[in-house]
Amino acid sequence: MSKTVIVTGASSGIGFAVAEAYLKRGYNVVGNARTIERLKQAATKLGNPANFVLVPGDISKAETAKALFERAVAAFGKVDILINNAGIFIAKPITDYTEDDLDTIVSTNLKGFFYPSQQAARHMSANRSGHIVTITASIAMQPNVKVPAVLPVLIKGGLNHATRGLAIELAASNVKVNAVAPGIITTPMHSDDEATRSFFRTLSPSGTFGETRDIVDAVLYLTESSFTSGAVLPVDGGASAGTW
C-alpha cells in the first residue's frame, strides 16, 4: 500500500515542490492551502493526479487540521507523514511591527504547526508509526543584524525547540519528529529585483541562494530515516554556522 503524506502550504514554493516529489515517488498526497483555487492551479501543474487530494482551509483553525486527517484517512486509510510547511516571514525592526503582523504570524506559523501536529500525534501514536517534519528558518538558529526579524525568530525558534520536545514525547510511540531550517531559498516569496537578490546573497557565507530541491532533499532524508528524530537540519549555505 502506498504511503500518505499531508503537506500544508502545498500550492506554491517549497510546499508545492515537496508535494511534487512525493507524488513522483508514488505517495498519496493530501495538500492544503487557504483557497481551493490555488490548490486547483497546483493540481493542474502536477497533471491532476488521482492521488492528490485537495483540502482548502485556514491552517490556523483546528477544524482545518481535523479535516485534513479525516479526508486523508477516508481516501487512503491512514497518514504516514505530516509536512508542516505553511508559513510566512515578516522582517522589520521590532518598533515597526503591528498588531496585525503579530496576529498573522502567530496564526499561520504557530497555530499552523500546533493543530496539524496535534492531529498527527493522535493518529500516528495510535498506529505506532509516522513522521512529522516542520519547515522553520535558519535565522531562528543564528539571528543576523542585517535582517531584523524578531517575530519570525521568536516563533520559528520556538518551533525548533518544540520539534525536540515533541520528538521526545512521541519517541515511545515510534513517531519521528524533525525540522528543516531553510536559509534564503529561491521561491515566489522572494523578489526578482536584482538589488534585493544581491542583498540576499550576503546572508550566507557561500554567497548563493538555495533551491527548493535542497529543501526537498532534506525533507525526504528525514522522512526516510528510521533513526533520526529531534533534529533541526539547517539548509542555508552555512548561514547558521556563525559569523563570517
CATH number of the domain within which 174 lies: 3.40.50.720
This prediction has a pTM of: 0.96
Listed as ranges, residues in the chain with pLDDT below 50 are none
pLDDT of residue 197: 82
User: Does a structural domain hold residue 149?
Assistant: yes
118: left (phi over 0), alpha (psi -120 to 50) or beta: alpha
pLDDT per position as a tens digit, 123-134? 999 999 999 999
- Cα gap 166→188, rounded to integer Å: 31
What are the Cα distances from residue 201, in Å, to 35, 109, 126, 137, 241? 33, 25, 45, 16, 16
User: Does a structural domain hold residue 244?
Assistant: no
User: Does a structural domain hold residue 201?
Assistant: yes
- Cα gap 139→162, rounded to integer Å: 16
User: Does a structural domain hold residue 242?
Assistant: no
| Structural domain boundaries, residue 46 | 4-234
User: Does a structural domain hold residue 196?
Assistant: yes
pLDDT of residue 189: 56
Give how many domains the chain has, as a whole number. 1
pLDDT of residue 190: 56
User: Does a structural domain hold residue 170?
Assistant: yes
